[in-house]
Each structure stands twice: as structure tokens, then as C-alpha cells.
Structure 1
Amino acid sequence: MNAKPLWPPGHALKLLQKVQRHESPLELVYTSHERWPFPRLPTHPQRKLDTIRISILDSSFNPPTCAHLALANSRPPRYTKPGLTSSTAELDYDAKLLLLSVRNADKALKPGDATYEQRLEMMYLLSKDMLASVSQRLEDNSEPEHANVAIAIVDEPTFVGKAVVLRQFLHARCSGMYHPATALDEMAISPTYDGISIPDPRLVFLLGFDTLVRLLSPRYYASEAAMMDALRLFFSPTGDNCYVACARRKLAEVQDTVQEEVEAKTLFMAREFVESERVALISLGADNVDEQTSSSQVRTKVALKDETWKELVTPSIANYIIQNSLYVS
């Protein structure tokens, strides 16, 4: 696998600078095909395309780990799949998005970190690992038919803010594909009946438990009341209509008392949204993947010359880290 992405030199930097200068709130760096987020091929005949289910893996990707890969390839929670019969209940998300924010509520760039350009290149490698882990590479080296992945950068630190930006961006992109002005364009979608409505994006944010803690922490909002108001709008079907799929911690994992208290408080804060089926705890379904596998563990192990760091990332990411001498003390 090539260590460099397919985009031209300077492409990612140009888009990064555009977002950082506030000229654009969000930019797509890469899409697996021009029709994204619409499927490359027609949808399943038993499901009308009135809703597009898009998984959002939002992270610092410094670097991407095996936990990122497992989360990115996790199955949709049952209740995020409207209109599906039992025979189609195991369908994947319609589209997937790897999202990098250039403004993080907790983390600022530090000496020794991968640059944003390097993270985007590793995200590209992760997108290829996502496909390789669920499908054998075709003989002609083309992408599998179900490939529907994109990479984007956004200038927004909170999930609530990202949801607003994403919905506005996706509505504009999808509307452009239906617009008569693009009817002769290959990426235009031909309506099959008059008065066709634009499919509504249904965003499912994929989180680790530590990120769920931050989403439900009042310190990131003006007050606890302001947090609940923001989250109710975030999850409301008449608001941003978002879902959260959170990786469940391993039951056998040894935890200290403080961590147990944090988790109990988080689940208590989330109970309203769990009961309304807006927050789901999911299993990553991989015995060799620990939800707590973190990018910081990789960076620390690389700096200490502990070769076990290679077990925490995919081979393509490991090769990239070595070739670019990342995280070396």
C-alpha cells in the first residue's frame, strides 16, 4: 500500500488553510467517489432513499489506531436504521466520514505531534484499511462496490457545533446533485418521479467512552441547563436529528474507583438520551481490540522505543509512522 494519498501535492494544505482562515467551515479532502454521500450504486430495493445514514468518526487521529478502525467499521445500532426489514437489518451505513477538527476543545498541537497534513494522510490510509478489512482487494485494484468513505476537515470544536455545520454542508451538497443545472453532470441524480424530496442526512457520531464523557460534561457548556438544552436540540428529530454510538468498555477491564464513578455519572447524565434511543452502547466485536487503545499510548511507546506500539496500529499506519519518523523523542 502506498504511503501517500492520491490527492495532488499541496491539496490538503490548501484546504486546511482555507478552513483555518475561516473562509470555509468545512472542506472535503477526499471522497471514494464523486457521488458521496450517495451510494455509488443504487440502494437496496427494500429501502427508499429518503434518509442517508452517515457515520461520523471524529478524532484527532494522532495517529489512527486499531480502535479507530474497529469503531469506523462497527455496525449501525438497530434503531438508526428506519424502514429496514429483518432481511436488510445488517446493512452498513450508507456513507462514512472521517472528520478532523482544526480546533479542538481539549487538545492543541504540541511539539512532536503529527501535523494536520500528516494526520490527513494517515486518515487516508485508515480509509483504505477500513475497506481492506471488510472486502478482498479486487483484481483490477479498483475499490469495492460498497466503498463510500470521505475525509473532511472542520473548524468547530464541539459535537453540537459540528452537527450544525455538517447538516448545512450535506444539505447543500445533496441539493446540488439534484439541481437541474447539474442534470447533464455524471454526479447528478436523476429523479424517478416528480416532486422528489432530497434525502435527509441522519448523522451517527461514533465515540469512545472517554469522548462520551466529554459530550456530557457541563464544563464544555455555559451551564448544566445549557448543556441539556444543546443536547436535546442535537438529538431531537426536529433539531439536528443526531445519534451517538459509543463503544462499550470491556466488562472484565479492571478500573479504579474514580473511573467507575465517572462512568456511572456519565451514564446517569445520558439516561434521557439512552431511553429515547439516541445514544447506544455498542461492542466493537473484535477480541484483540481494546476500546481504551489510544493514540497517546502509541506516541508514548514510540518515544520510549517500545516496539509493542506496532500492535496498536495497522501495518500501513505503522509504516507511515516509521517512514516519517513520527513521535520519536
Structure 2
Amino acid sequence: MNEDKMTSRLAAFRPMVTELGTALKDFQNSQSNFRIFKTVYPSSRQPQNPSSPKGNDDAPKTIFILDSSFNPPSIAHQILAQSALKKTACQNFPGPYRLLLLFATVNADKAPSAASFDQRLALMSIFAGDLLESLKQKSDEYHAVPVDIGVTTVPYYTDKSAYIEKEGQTWYPGKPKHIHLVGFDTLTRFFAAKYYQKFDPPFSALNPYFDAGHRLRVTLRPDDEYGSVDEQRAYVQRLADGEMEKDGAKREWASQVELIPPNPRVGVSSTKIRRMAKAQKWDEVQELMMPTVAEWVKSERLYDEDDRGAKMA
């Protein structure tokens, strides 16, 4: 893309930051726990206000949910989404499909930091356009589907799905199935009993999620912290073998956890990207982000003040 076209594209997004900031304040002052702010359709890169399906045939039956702090969106997010939207991957689930990019204003593990929340929503919207462009370039291989930009106030996956179902009827009528797109590290947090201490046994908190037929699509991430591919597969086998039953897990849940072979790019560190952006190593930044997202980070100087080494939201 030439420089003038990119400059024009970025300029079109700048008024949206203020709009998203106002919408976010309204959401935070409400009693709502979930809301869709924008939708990006395959026909246009420019985010639109969300609307209800035109009829039953237009209502989504499967929602792929990419839940992240998007600080910033990277090729790791791109790979997770593209992998799920492969036509061969989707064929076992009913359509129409949608992709929900979901940002939680409260995170179970991380304190807010770096890019402001309105900028995160802008980054998500820009990322959605870049992602759809990449999918359309290989339309024989991928489904290019509407991408929703959503926000929730709750930190846990089970609560998120519950509120999407309860408060998202305007956009998602008919109780579509949810498929969360996660890395293996997230799976270990999903099945960490410490997060469900209010429940007895702890994993009884997960009953509504699995009873509704929702699923986890887990990309394996072999590394020193989480072990080899075989060790990660063995972790899920423990669920299937009943080794988590003492905490309330059910063996049959393992059939709703799909394991995807590792992709090295899924392990891209957002902290590393922020450090490189602060150091203005733009060639390296552009290798780890989609093109318009990278240019937005550069033009808005989002991480100039982010010089901490710790992992952040």
C-alpha cells in the first residue's frame, strides 16, 4: 500500500477514537456487562454501528470469540482467528459464523496499562479490517465473516459467555454456540481451581459453559513453562481420564476441547512489541503486526511511555 493511501486510511479512524471513548464511558456507567460497539463487514474496512440480524437465516449459529487485552493486536491474534475461519475448520459447526473480538475492562490476571481503553478498541477495529482483507485474499480457503468489536466487564470466560447470551440477544439471537480461541496458557488458567473458590467443588462453575455446548479451540504452545506438545496433550487427557473430577470437572468436557497443532507465531509477545515500538524499531514491529495496526501504533505513538519490563494487560 502506498503512503498516501495509508495516511488516508489512518485519518478515517481518528474521529472514531473519541466516539469509542464516549461509548465506553456510557457502557461503564450502565448496568450492562456486555455490549458490541462496532462491526466490521467483509464489504468494507470502515467499522459500522452494530445492527440486529435481518432474519433467522442471517442470525449467527456459531460465534468464534477471540478474547484478549489487544495491547496491541498482533500476528498471534491473526493466526488464531485465521485458523478458526478456515473452511475445513468451520465445516463441523453450523453457520452463519461471526467473529467476536472481545475486550474485558477487568482482567483476572493483569492490571490495566499502556494503551488506553479507547485506543484498544480502535486497534481492535483496525485489526478487524486488516484481518478481513487477508481472509478475502484467500477466499477459497477462508470464510470472511462479520467481525464484532465487543466489551465486557467480567474477567472469567464462563461469565463472559453467560452475559453474551443474556445481554447479546440483539445481535446474537437464538443462543448460538461459542467457540473461544485460546492458547494453551489460557487453557491452564481456565482449569485453575483458584479462580473458582466461591464454588464447591470449584469446577462446578464451568457446568453452564459446557452444558450450553460451548467449546475451547486451543492452539498448543510448547515452551519451557508449559512443556512439550505431548505434555500439553497429556494435560487435556487428564481431564478425559477423570483426574480433575475431585475439583468437579467432568470427563466428557474433554470432547469440547479441541487441540490445534502449534504455530510459532501464536507465541508472539505483546510486551516485546511494546518495547520495540518504544524503541522505534518499526521494521521489527511491522513483522509482528498487521500493516494498518502497525502504522496506527507508530502514528499515534501509543507506547512511547511504556518502558516497563513486566508483562502487562
Question: Do both share a fold (TM > 0.5)?
Answer: yes
- 1:53 correspondence with 2:62: yes
Where structure 1 has 5 or more consecutive residues not aligned to the other structure, the ranges are: 44-48, 82-87, 138-143, 176-198
CA contact (8 A) 1:76 1:93 kept: no
Match of 2:268 among 284, 293, 307: 293
Is the contact made by 1:75 and 1:92 (CA closer than 8 Å) also made in structure 2?
Answer: no
CA contact (8 A) 2:115 2:303 kept: yes
1:36 and 1:282 map into 2 onto residues whose CA distance is 33
- Deviation string, structure 1 residues 24-43 (Cα, Å, up to 9, x no partner): 21221112367867589957
Q: Map 1:1-329; keep pairs closer than 5 Å.
A: 1=6, 2-3=9-10, 4-5=12-13, 8=16, 10-32=18-40, 38=53, 52-75=61-84, 94-110=97-113, 113-136=114-137, 146-174=144-172, 199-222=174-197, 225-236=200-211, 240-249=212-221, 255-256=223-224, 258-260=225-227, 263=232, 266-267=235-236, 270-271=239-240, 272=250, 276-283=254-261, 290-307=265-282, 308-328=284-304, 329=307
TM-score (norm 2): 0.74
* Displacement of 1:230: 1.2
Whole-angstrom distance in 1 between the partners of 2:272 and 2:52: 33
Higher helix share: 2
SS at the partner of 2:107?
coil
Partner of residue 44, structure 2: none
CA contact (8 A) 1:97 1:149 kept: yes
Partner letter of residue 25 of structure 1?
Answer: N
CA distance in 2 between counterparts of 1:201 and 1:229 reads 22
Tell me the secondary structure at the aligned position of residue 213 of structure 2: coil
- Identical pairs, percent: 25
Q: Give unpaired runs (5+ residues) of structure 2.
A: 1-5, 42-48, 241-249, 308-313
Alignment partners' CA distance in 1, 2:234 and 2:143: 43
Give the aligned residue type for 1:170: G
User: Counterparts of 1:283 and 1:274 in 2: how far apart (Å)?
Assistant: 22
C-alpha distance in 1 between matches for 2:61 and 2:286: 36
1:54-77 alpha-carbon deviations (Å, 9 max, x no partner): 001010000000010111122369
CA distance in 2, matches of 1:13, 1:203: 27
Q: Which residue of 2 aligns with 1:184?
A: none
Distance 1:95 1:36 in 2: 13
Work out the CA distance in 1 between the residues paired with 2:155 and 2:281.
Answer: 32
Give the SS at the match of 2:26: helix
Check the 8 A contact 1:122/1:317 in 2, yes or no: yes
Shift of 1:304: 4.1
The number of aligned residues is: 276
Q: Assess, with a 3 A threshold, how the Cα gap between structure 1 residues 91 and 293 changes in structure 2: closer, same or farther.
A: farther
- Contact map agreement 1:56 1:96 (CA 8 A) in 2: yes
1:107 is displaced (CA, Å) by 1.4
Indicate if the aligned counterparts of 2:61 and 2:94 stay in contact, CA closer than 8 A.
no
State whether residues 41 and 145 of structure 1, in contact with CA within 8 Å, keep that contact through their aligned partners in structure 2: no
Please give the secondary structure, in 2, of the residue aligned with 1:171: coil
Which residue of structure 2 lines up, in the alignment, with residue 85 of structure 1?
none
1:40–1:145 contact (8 Å) kept in structure 2: no
Q: CA deviation at 1:266?
A: 4.5
Aligned pair in 2 of structure 1 residues 78, 218: CA closer, same or farther (>3 Å)? farther
Q: Is the 8 A contact 1:53 1:93 kept in 2?
A: yes
Structure 2 residue matching 1:205: 3-state secondary structure: strand
Question: 1:191 maps to what in 2?
Answer: none
